């Protein structure tokens, strides 16, 4: 009896403790100023003495379209930073408006909503409509609750803040002063058009002309060991589980027809005799071969032993060779060949084994780019001395009419762009994105060749201004008022952007902006472990920097 009572009291005591723990956890996690279960706090941060609640944060994420988006963690962290900056700007501007006695009544908010509009971090958007494109309060209420997780009342509070911020922006815009001279300069800047002539020098087309000595390769391996190792680690699959591969040196002598064939045979027989007599295969290849590999002593890249890609006759001959051996003369439909088997490999390559190949590739790329640059500079020098580009390079007209036999032209082609204006994105038609090249296109005089070649992406360009079109002042006279209004709007937006950035920076430097790291941490997908890497650290106002953003509304 006594034992049963003790057991019952013991169970009750345990239950009391259990519930006490639950209550304590609930208070800690969900009470005022608590950390919460999820974002880590009921408040996402503080803005100049006022709270940014989790409701505010989640609303901003929702109207921005980021909630539920499956993007990389690092990218999500950056996008969150942009959204939070936009919310901070909205609040700071709204408070500036309030300090100046501005207010937004319920009627103004209701009128905007009934018209089917709302503001999302400064961007006007269309609101869901009912039948016959009319305002349906029940539909609107469900939409607000379902899509943004807030009540209509709280949504209207958000809109009040938005409208206050917009009203203050209008004051900034209206205070922005412009002059007709500014607008005319802008018109001239946007209306000037130019047409370029250019020649593209692709470094890949110069790789076969690169001569690499073994001493140079060895020195590169010593000097660039870190870069070579990084390349090896990043491309390890290219050096593992390799089929049998061979490395060859080749000498090729071509013949056009049966009439030329005997002379070609005499030539290749003489070359074979030189090699048999003790001359290095690489030396003979560099002096006499008609293959593109001539510059490198006839050396070819590693290739599959079963499919070397040199024709059936050479494939059969390779089967009889051992490392270091030179083939007899091999004949195919249009060539005579001498082949030397430099070596073979198979399976997994260590870093040491792969280093010579990696070094040759990297060196060849570097040297090919230098050759392309040097070649471009040579043509520029000739152009500056008075030679015409149309006599130095083949043109599109040559393709149509055929070039004159007595004029020796480079196989590199002289091309022309269409007329194009200055671009804020620095996109030059047919060439690519380059601020330096865009500047030159509108700085050089018509008919002038640029003093130096330009590198855009992996390509090198010789550039000349072919023709320039000046602005049409008749258009300016007819549409001056339109241009003034457009320029006023752009300059006003720039003034708002600059003001907002400075306001945000001042608040940040004064310690008035604080955003909890927990809400900025990018969530991972269910069941997927977070990647062990450092995510971008959020710094307030960073995305508002005028030097990093295009002109536009917040």
- Tokens 């293959």, residue located: 291
pLDDT band at 6, cuts 50/70/90? very low
Instruction: Give the pair of three-digit tokens for residue 177.
Output: 């002063």
What pLDDT sits at residue 11? 45
Q: How confident is the model at residue 212 (pLDDT cuts 50, 70, 90)?
A: confident
Rounded to 5°, angle at Cα 159 from 158 and 162: 95
Is residue 199 within a helix (H) or strand (E), and if so which, with residue range?
A: strand 193-201
Q: Mapping DSSP to helix (H, G, I), strand (E, B) and coil, where does residue 116 land?
A: coil
Contact in structure between 349 and 240 (CB atoms under 8 Å): yes
Is 356 strand, coil or helix? helix
Does residue 62 or residue 37 have the better pLDDT? 62
Residue indicated by tokens 């100046």? 100
Render 42-53 in DSSP notation, one character per residue.
SEEEEETTEEEE
Q: What is the 3-state secondary structure (H, E, C) of 430-482?
A: CCEECHHHHHHHCCCCCCCECCCCEEECCEEEEEEEEEEECCCHHHHHHHHHH
Give the closest residue to 173 by CA, choosing from 403, 415, 499.
499
Which pLDDT value is given to residue 72? 78
- Assign 530 a pLDDT band (cuts: 50, 70, 90): low
Strand bridging mode 410-416 / 393-395: parallel
* Tokens encoding 211: 């001569």
351-384 vs 225-234: helix crossing angle, rounded to 10: 110
Confidence of residue 37 (pLDDT cuts 50, 70, 90): very low
Is the per-residue pLDDT at 210 higher than 60? yes
> What phi and psi, each to the nearest 5 degrees, are found at residue 92?
-65, -40
- Look up the CATH number of domain 242-347: 3.10.50.40
From 144, 142, 159, 145, select the one nearest 108 (Cα to Cα): 159
- Same fold: 39-175+493-544 with 242-347: no
Lowest mean pLDDT among 52-66, 323-337, 388-402: 388-402
Q: How far apart are CA 250 and CA 298, in angstroms?
A: 5
Give the model's pLDDT for residue 440.
94
What digits encode the pLDDT tens for the residues 120-173? Answer: 999 999 999 888 889 999 999 999 999 888 999 999 999 999 999 999 999 999
3-state helix, strand, coil in the chain (%, to 5): 50, 15, 30
Contact between 298 and 250 under an 8 Å Cβ cutoff? The reply is yes
**Residue 463: Cβ-neighbour burial (10 angstroms; 0-12, 13-18, 19+):** buried
Q: Tokens 């390769």 correspond to what residue?
A: 217
Confidence category of residue 513, pLDDT binned at 50, 70, 90: very high
Tell me, what's the pLDDT at 276? 93
User: Facing residues of 246 across strands?
Assistant: 303, 344
pLDDT confidence band for 522 (50 / 70 / 90):
low
Nearest to 497 by CA among 551, 548, 541, 542: 551
Structure confidence at residue 32 as a pLDDT band (50, 70, 90): very low
pLDDT, tens digit, for every residue of 77-125? 888 999 999 999 999 999 999 999 999 999 999 999 999 999 999 999 9
Supply the DSSP symbol for 299.
B
Rounded to whole angstroms, how far apart are CA atoms 417 and 423? 14
Q: Which residue has the tokens 């070819």?
A: 300
Q: Two tokens at 315?
A: 């494939």
pLDDT for the residue 30: 37
Identify the burial level of 437 via C-beta atoms within 10 angstroms of its C-beta, where 0-12 means exposed, 13-18 middle and 19 or more buried. buried
Per DSSP, 254 falls in state E
pLDDT at 233 over 90: yes
Q: What are phi and psi of 193, to 5 degrees?
A: -135, 150
* pLDDT attached to residue 423: 79
Crossing angle, helix 54-64 and helix 73-99, to 10 degrees? 110
Q: What does residue 378 show for φ and ψ, rounded to 5 degrees?
A: -65, -45
Backbone angles phi, psi at 511, to 5 degrees: 75, 25
Number of helical (H) and strand (E) elements in the chain, helices listed first: 18, 17
Tell me the percentage of the chain whose pLDDT exceeds 70.
86
User: Which of 291, 126, 268 lies closest to 208, judged by CA?
Assistant: 291
Could you give the CA distance from residue 330 to residue 315 in angstroms, rounded to a whole number? 10
Residue 401: pLDDT band (50, 70, 90) is: low
> Which residues, in sequence order, are bridge partners of residue 51?
46
Pairing of strands 330-331, 410-416: unpaired
As a whole number of angstroms, the distance between CA 360 and CA 86 comes to 51
pLDDT at residue 307 in the model? 87
Give the Cα separation of 95 and 513 in Å (integer): 14
User: In the predicted model, what is the mean pLDDT of residues 320-346?
Assistant: 92
Q: In the CATH hierarchy, which top-level class contains the domain 39-175+493-544?
A: mainly alpha
The answer to whether residue 1 scores a pLDDT higher than 50 is: no
Please check the confidence at residue 284 and state whether its pLDDT lies above 80.
Answer: yes
pLDDT category at 399 given cuts 50, 70, 90 is: low
Considering the chain, what is the average pLDDT of its residues? 85
pLDDT at 489: 94
How far apart, in whole angstroms, are the C-alpha atoms of residue 495 and residue 292? Answer: 60
Query: Contact 199/462 with Cβ under 8 angstroms?
Result: yes
Local structure of 97: helix, strand or coil: helix
Residue 138, H or E segment: helix 137-148
Where exactly are the structural domains of the chain? 1-30, 39-175+493-544, 195-239+351-469, 242-347
pLDDT in tens, 265-275: 999 999 999 99
**pLDDT score at 4:** 44
Give the per-residue pLDDT at 48: 86
**Joined tokens for residue 82:** 């942009």
């Amino acid at each position: 009896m006594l034992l049963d009572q003790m057991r019952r009291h013991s169970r009750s005591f345990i239950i009391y403790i259990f519930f006490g723990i639950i209550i304590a956890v609930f208070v800690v996690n969900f009470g005022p100023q608590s950390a919460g279960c999820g974002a880590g706090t009921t408040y996402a941060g503080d803005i100049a003495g006022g709270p940014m609640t989790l409701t505010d944060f989640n609303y901003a994420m929702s109207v921005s379209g980021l909630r539920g988006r499956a993007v990389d963690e690092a990218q999500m962290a950056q996008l969150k930073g942009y959204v939070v900056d936009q919310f901070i700007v909205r609040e700071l501007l709204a408070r500036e408006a309030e300090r100046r006695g501005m207010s937004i009544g319920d009627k103004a908010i209701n009128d905007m909503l009934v018209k089917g509009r709302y503001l999302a971090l400064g961007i006007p958007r269309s609101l869901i409509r009912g039948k016959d494109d009319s305002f349906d309060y029940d539909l609107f209420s469900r939409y607000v609750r379902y899509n943004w997780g807030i009540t209509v009342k709280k949504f209207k509070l958000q809109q009040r803040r938005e409208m206050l911020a917009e009203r203050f922006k209008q004051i900034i815009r209206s205070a922005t002063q412009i002059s007709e001279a500014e607008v005319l300069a802008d018109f001239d800047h946007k209306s000037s058009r130019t047409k370029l002539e250019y020649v593209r020098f692709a470094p890949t087309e110069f790789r076969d002309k690169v001569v690499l000595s073994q001493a140079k390769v060895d020195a590169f391996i010593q000097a660039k060991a870190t870069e070579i190792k990084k390349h090896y680690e990043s491309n390890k699959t290219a050096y593992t589980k390799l089929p049998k591969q061979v490395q060859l040196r080749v000498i090729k002598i071509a013949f056009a027809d049966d009439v030329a064939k005997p002379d070609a045979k005499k030539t290749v027989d003489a070359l074979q005799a030189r090699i048999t007599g003790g001359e290095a295969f690489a030396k003979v290849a560099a002096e006499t071969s008609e293959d593109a590999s001539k510059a490198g002593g006839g050396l070819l890249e590693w290739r599959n032993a079963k499919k070397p890609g040199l024709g059936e006759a050479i494939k059969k001959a390779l089967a009889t060779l051992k490392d270091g051996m030179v083939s007899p003369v091999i004949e195919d439909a249009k060539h005579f060949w001498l082949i030397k088997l430099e070596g073979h490999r198979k399976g997994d390559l260590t870093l040491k084994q792969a280093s010579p190949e990696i070094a040759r590739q990297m060196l060849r790329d570097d040297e090919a780019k230098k050759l392309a640059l040097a070649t471009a500079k040579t043509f520029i020098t000739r152009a500056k001395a008075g030679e015409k580009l149309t006599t130095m390079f083949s043109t599109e007209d040559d393709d149509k009419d055929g070039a004159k036999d007595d004029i020796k032209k480079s196989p590199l082609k002289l091309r022309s762009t269409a007329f194009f204006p200055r671009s804020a994105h620095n996109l030059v038609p047919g060439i690519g994105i380059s601020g330096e090249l865009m500047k030159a296109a509108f700085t050089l005089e018509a008919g002038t060749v640029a003093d130096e070649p330009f590198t855009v992406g992996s390509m090198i360009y010789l550039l000349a201004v072919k023709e320039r079109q000046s602005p049409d002042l008749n258009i300016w006279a007819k549409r001056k008022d339109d241009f003034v209004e457009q320029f006023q709007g752009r300059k006003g937006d720039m003034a708002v952007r600059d003001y907002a950035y400075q306001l945000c920076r001042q608040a940040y430097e004064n310690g008035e902006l604080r955003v909890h790291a927990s809400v900025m941490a990018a969530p991972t997908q269910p069941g997927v472990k977070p990647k062990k890497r450092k995510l971008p650290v959020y710094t307030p106002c960073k995305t508002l920097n005028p030097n990093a953003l295009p002109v536009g509304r917040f």
